[in-house]
């Protein structure tokens, strides 16, 4: 669709956990133009949403138990994700665990993500 070279396997592995904008510019080297980077990242999110439209996120086994234990012991719980806020919040709500988190940091809250420590 974009006439870009498909990323090599090592680049896909390096991109795991990174913000889409960061991957597009720094890992895949598809563009340095901020508006083009945002456009490609937005299109990537649209495609992702189409692919997962019929799925419902669920909490991993043991997570609710862990979150309940943290709550009982007054341990604050935070989540850092390189995904867009709308996707993160929708996933947490669908899985029924949003109310356990005291803080949520998503892609829009930081300039960089993994491996940069900024979200944490």
Beta-strand relationship, 78-80 and 103-105: parallel
The whole-number pLDDT of residue 77 equals 97
Q: Between the CA of residue 37 and those of 4, 21, 22, 34, 106, what are the distances in Å?
A: 13, 6, 9, 5, 18
In percent, how much of the chain has pLDDT > 70?
A: 100
- State the pTM of this model: 0.70
* Residue showing tokens 């895949």: 28
The whole-number pLDDT of residue 64 equals 94
Q: Average pLDDT for residues 113-120, to the nearest whole number?
A: 78
């Amino acid at each position: 669709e974009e006439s870009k070279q498909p990323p090599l396997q090592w680049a896909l592995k390096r991109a795991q956990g990174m913000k889409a904008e960061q991957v597009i510019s720094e890992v895949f080297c598809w563009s340095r133009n901020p508006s083009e980077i945002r456009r490609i990242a937005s299109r990537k999110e649209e495609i992702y949403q189409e692919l997962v439209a019929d799925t419902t996120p669920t909490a991993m086994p043991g997570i609710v138990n862990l979150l309940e234990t943290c709550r009982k012991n007054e341990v604050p719980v935070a989540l850092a994700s390189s995904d867009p806020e709308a996707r993160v919040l929708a996933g947490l709500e669908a899985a029924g665990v949003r109310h356990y988190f005291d803080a949520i940091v998503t892609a829009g809250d930081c300039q960089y993500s993994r491996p940069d420590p900024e979200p944490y």
